[in-house]
Amino acid sequence: MELSQLRYLVAVVDEGGFTRAAERLHVSQPGVSAQVRQLERELGQRLLDRSGRRVTPTEAGAAVLVHARAALAAVEGVRRTADEFSGLLRGRVALGLVPGAASAAVGAFDVVGLLGDFHDAYPRVEISLAEDTSERMLAALRRGELDVVVAGLAGEPPQGITARVVLDEPLVAVVRAADPLVRAAVDGRLPLAELRGRALIALPRGTGLRGVLERACAEAGFGPRVDFEAAAPAVLARLAGRGLGVAVVPEGAESAAGPGVRALRITGPELRGRVALAWRTEGPSGTAAAHLLTRLRAALPDPAGGAG
C-alpha cells in the first residue's frame, strides 16, 4: 500500500470519477484507475462502485476512506511541521524599538537580553532592528514592514494592532528649583494649565509621550509651546537643568539633570507615559517572527504583579 494509492482513492471519491480525479492530480486517467484497482486487490475488497454515472464508495470503501483521509492529513502535518522548522532556522524578523529600549531594560522587560537569548537559540535567524518614532513604527507594523514593535502609546493602539503595556509611569515637569512653577505646585503636583505659554522641552512629534502631551493640552484648551526637542528623556532633563525650559519627561528622568532641579508630577489630568509591545492582531506572517513574539509575550510583566 502506498500513499499515492490513498491519495488517488480520496480524489476519485471527492471528484465523483476517475477522469476529474486525474485532472485534479495532474496524472493520467489510466494511471489513477490502475492504482485504485491495485489497492483493492491488496485489501481484498471492492472500494468503489463504478456502476452509476458518478463513482461512489462501497460500504468497505467508505470505511477505508476515513483512515485514508486521516493518513494523508498526518503526512501533510509532518510536511507542514518540517516547513515551519525550516522557516524558523532560516527566517527573518524585523523589530522596531522606541529610542532607548535597546540600550536599557524597559522596566523589567529586557529587550536586548530577550533578543540575545533568541539569537543563541536560533543563530541562523536574521534579526533587524530599527529605532524610530512610535507613530512611524506603528504605521510600518500595520503595513507589514515590521513584525513586532516596542513603542509608546498616546491612546488606544491603531485598528488591527494588539498591544500589551510594558511600562506605565507618570509624567513630570522638570524645572530649576527657583522656577515659579515650583511655587505654583501643591505637594509636588502641578496643574497642566500652568504649562500654558511656557517654553517646553519634549520628545519629538510622533512619539507616544509627545502625543500624550499634545492631546492633554488640546483638551485643556491650549497648544503646547515646544521650543526644544530631543529623543532621550535624560537629555530633555539636562536641558531643563540649564534653564532652557520645562522638560516633560517620565518620572525618574530628572536624575540625569543632577542637583538643583525639581520634578513636579503633572495633574489635572494626570499625564502618564505608556510603552507597549505591539503586533498585528492576526500575528506575524513568518514562523521566526511568531516564535520571537511568543518569547516576548511570555516575558511581559504580569499586570497583577510578577512575570507572565
- What residue spans define the domains of the chain? 3-86, 91-308
Residue 300, pLDDT score: 83
Per-residue pLDDT tens over the stretch 260-288: 999 999 998 999 999 899 999 998 888 88
Residue 308, pLDDT score: 36
Residue 296, pLDDT score: 92
Report the CATH number of the 3-86 domain: 1.10.10.10
Residue 189, pLDDT score: 95
Under the banding of pLDDT at 50, 70 and 90, the label for residue 307 is: very low
State the cell numbers at 301.
510583566
Residue 85, pLDDT score: 65
pLDDT at 105 over 90: no
Residue 154, pLDDT score: 87
Per-residue pLDDT tens over the stretch 135-175: 999 999 999 999 999 999 988 888 999 999 988 889 999 99
Cβ contact 125:72 at 8 Å: no
pLDDT at 226 over 90: yes
Residue 176, pLDDT score: 95
Q: How far apart (Å, rounded) are the C-alpha atoms in residues 278 and 166? A: 10
Domain covering 91-308 assigned CATH 3.40.190.290 in the classification: yes
Under the banding of pLDDT at 50, 70 and 90, the label for residue 66 is: very high
Residue 88, pLDDT score: 61
Residue 107, pLDDT score: 54
State the cell numbers at 215.
492631546
Q: Which amino acid type is present at position 191? A: P
Q: Which of 146, 122, 108, 162 is nearest to 306 (CA)?
A: 108
Residue 302, pLDDT score: 65
Cβ contact 148:292 at 8 Å: yes
> What is this structure's pTM?
0.66
Per-residue pLDDT tens over the stretch 153-162: 988 888 999 9
pLDDT at 183 over 90: yes
Under the banding of pLDDT at 50, 70 and 90, the label for residue 1 is: confident
Residue 231, pLDDT score: 86
Structure letter (DSSP) for residue 299:
T
Percent of the chain with pLDDT over 70: 92
State the cell numbers at 1.
500500500
∠ CA 65-69-73, rounded to 5°: 170
Q: How far apart (Å, rounded) are the C-alpha atoms in residues 175 and 223? A: 20
Percent of the chain with pLDDT over 90: 56
Residue 306, pLDDT score: 39
Section 201-225 average pLDDT: 94
Q: What value does the mean pLDDT of the chain take?
A: 88
